[in-house]
Structure 1
Amino acid sequence: MSARLSSARTRAALRTSARVSTELLLIFVLLAVALWLLGRMWSVVWPVAIALLLTTLTWPSARFLRRHGWPPALAASVVTVAFLLTAVGVVALIAVPMSSQTDELTDGVVEGIERLRDWAAGPPLNIGDAQITSAVDTAMARVQDSVGSMVSTVATGVSAVVNGLITAILAVFLMFFFLKDGPRFLPWLTRQLPGRLSTDVPAVAARGWETLGSFVRSQALVGLLDAVFIGLGLWILGVPLVLPLAVLTFVSAFVPIVGALFAGFVAVLIALVSNGLTDALIVLAIIVVVQQLEGNVFQPMIQSRGLGLHAAVILLAVTLGGSLAGVVGTLLAVPVAALIAVVWNYVRDQLGDHAEEPAAADA
């Protein structure tokens, strides 16, 4: 009898395991299909994602105007134009001071190269002019041999720039329509969905919108902290173009990894050509320290409070997003993880409410 019971339990456990495995396999297949469809529609999904992030940044201004009697189209137009003017102003704030000192920076670059050459010629390297000339000739020969690959690389870069401009223009137009017609979306969605979905989906969408807004605000705060600390260090060292470099640091905070590397490279280069190698190394140390504080302290703490995610989850999400989709993955990893948490928390709350209802009925 015991053997029969044990055999029956084993068969039941195997059937349960097989059913669960089949369900999990089906879920993975559906996820793979969804990711494949997302990749096929990426040219549309990417501008929409950028537009949503920009809308969360500009919506408070549009909401303020709408609450004071402005028509939705006028409020959206004013906010969109103000955003474009601000973006152009930021670019001008960075470009104009740098262009006005182009000659000084060029002379500094030449002088810096000469200093590096003199340093390399002395101890302990003792690299002579003949060795440097030979190395330059070898590099030029390699460049000439790889002209074809360089041309294709340049063509790819030009194509990427063009696609980036098209994406930016489309995102701005979508931002205008989101600002203008955004409040109508949830009521329209409620009317289109049947039954329970007409309540659940709009509720999840509203929570997701709040989460995206929290992400953008926290990212702006992290960028502000980076700009203040790095700008303060540059000002103390007497490095020129402190304000443009601080603005560049703030803007680049919205592009993880690549943005920080680019802003840091520009700051170190300007410190090298204007103040010398010692100050450039100090600037590099400041940037490394600030970036470490940002990545391991500021960003996880601020975003974990604003998004309701643990700091470790944010770090793992950024790492996973970067490994799967590069820079774009690191940019979208945190908001995607936060939206997944929103859906999970809503489903858990609903299941908890339904679990309590039968218990109350039995009482």
Structure 2
Amino acid sequence: MVDTNNDTAARGSDALLPAASRVAVMTVTVIAVLAVAWLLVELSGLLMLVFASLALATVFDAMTRRICRLLGAPRGLALALSVLAFLGVFAAAFFLFGAQLAREFDTIRSALPSAFEKILAFVERLGLGEPVRKLLDQGGGDVSQVVSRAGGYVLTAGNVLTNAVLVLVGAIFIAGDPSIYRRGLLLLMPRRAEAPLAAALDDAGRGLRGWMFGQLISSMVVAALTWGGLAALGVPAAGGLGVIAGLLDVIPMVGPIISGVPAVLLAFTVSPASALWTIGLFLAVQQLQGNFLQPMIQKQAVDVPPALLLFAVVAAGTLFGFLGVLLAAPLTVVSFVFVQRIYVRTLLGKKIDVAG
């Protein structure tokens, strides 16, 4: 009788061991997941710089391959020529237009206060002065809060020049031999996941190259049309405002609105009619961009739904600060492709045409 009780107790203790081990494994797994999530949040600024390097490396890689095909040069020489050509474009633009643009940016900075005053005086004559002042006061507080957050992000990540050099050097190293990093990433994956991930990387690379090429053309066209249109309307600092419009065209949906604000304000220094014509000019340029240039970008890259892009900009700005806003579009392109290839097509088994 005693032996039977002992056997029963032994079997019970043996049954408890697997349950305890499962609880321990689950606890360790949860702690590990939380630790990785916390680490990703803490390193979010660095991760965005890494993504910027990857995006720039994609450009260098495309240029390097083209030079290798055209000249038959070795990859190292072709990469050096690509980097020199990339930097040469910015250096030439600076030497040709730098002084003029600096003067025009000074004009924008000095003319904005008087433009605000003229707008308020015009609104006062319409009898809407007090509501507009309250709206401007409230909006000014919101803008200052956003600016302070962006400034805090820049301070924690380092100054802009240092980050730019870090991104450039990282992109050169990655573009020097991208197969090393690709192969290393695939080696970390289970064998059955290697093929879908390799296909997703290829799709994302093609989509990213197409987006950058199309976006470059779009930004140049928007900058040129805005510059010429504002100059024809007699708006001060048309060149600087055109450059701002071209640069902010990278930010989907929100960028054109931001670039139009200083242009309309400076147009008010000429006349209210010029401000109305300036609004019409920006609407016309954005119609051209939305109906012609943007479909061209999506054809070359990834057809991301507009609403998804809009909320992606807001989410990236909330999570990663100002740098997240700038990189929201390419980050959305890559994420969209990965979701289609890995989740929808591989895990769910649904037959879809993957973008990119």
Q: TM-score, length-normalised on structure 2?
A: 0.64
Q: Tell which has more relative contact order, 1 or 2 (C-alpha 8 A, sep 6+).
A: 2
Structure 1 residues 313, 251: closer, same or farther in 2, change over 3 A?
closer
Which residue number in structure 2 is paired with residue 307 of structure 1? 302
How high is the TM-score relative to the length of structure 1? 0.63
Distance in 2, Cα, partners of 1:312 & 1:103: 36
1:219 paired with 2:206, answer no
> Equivalent residue for 2:165?
169
Matches within 5 A, 1:236-315: 236-239=232-235, 241-256=237-252, 259-260=255-256, 263-273=259-269, 275-288=270-283, 290-291=285-286, 294=289, 301-302=295-296, 304-305=298-299, 306-315=301-310
Q: CA-to-partner distance for each residue in 1:119-167, whole Å, 9 max, x for gaps?
A: 5799567x9xxxxxxx9xxx9xxxxxxxxx9xx9998598379532221
Deviation of 1:183 (Å):
4.2
Quick one: structure 1 residues 36 and 214, their matched pair in 2 at CA, closer, same or farther if it must change by over 3 Å? farther
User: Does the aligned pair in 2 maintain the 1:300–1:314 contact within 8 Å?
Assistant: no
| Structure 1 residues 102 and 309: CA distance shift in structure 2, 3 A | closer
1:222/1:299 contact within 8 Å kept:
yes
Matched, 1:73 2:69: no
Distance 1:93 1:263, change over 3 A: farther
Corresponding residue for 1:60? 62
Amino acid at match of 2:53: A
In structure 2, relative to structure 1, the CA distance for the partners of 1:192 and 1:292 (3 Å cut) is same
Question: 2: CA distance between counterparts of 1:33 and 1:102?
Answer: 46
Q: Secondary structure at the match of 2:177?
A: helix
Match of 1:47 in 2: 49
Number of matched pairs: 305
Q: Which runs of 5+ in 1 are unaligned?
A: 1-26, 128-134, 140-148, 356-363
Q: Distance in 1 between matches of 2:104 and 2:304?
A: 45
- Distance of 1:106 and 1:312 partners within structure 2: 33
Note the C-alpha offset of 1:185. Answer: 3.6
- CA pair 287-91 structure 1, distance change in 2 beyond 3 A: farther
For residue 170 of structure 1, give the secondary structure of its aligned residue in structure 2.
helix
Residue aligned with 2:250, SS: coil
| Cα deviation code 1:268-326 (max 9, x no counterpart) | 455445x44432342144325544775x6567644544314344443443454445555
Counterpart-to-counterpart distance in 2, 1:204 and 1:104? 47
1:280 partner amino acid: A
* Residue pairs, 1:125-274, within 5 angstroms: 156=152, 159=155, 162-187=158-183, 189=185, 195-239=191-235, 241-256=237-252, 259-260=255-256, 263-273=259-269
Sequence identity, in percent? 23
> 1:256·1:330 contact (CA, 8 Å) conserved in 2?
no
Cα deviation for residue 79 of structure 1 reads 2.0
Change (3 A) 1:84 1:184: same
* Residue type of the alignment partner of 1:346: R
Specify the code of the residue in structure 1 equivalent to 2:274.
D
> Unaligned regions of 5+ residues in structure 2, if any?
1-28, 138-144, 352-356
AA matched with 2:55: L
Q: Cα RMSD (Å) of the superposition?
A: 4.7
Q: Deviations over 1:238-295 (max 9, x none)?
A: 445544443332223224577545543443455445x44432342144325544775x
State the alpha-carbon separation in 2 of the partners of residues 323 and 154 from structure 1.
10
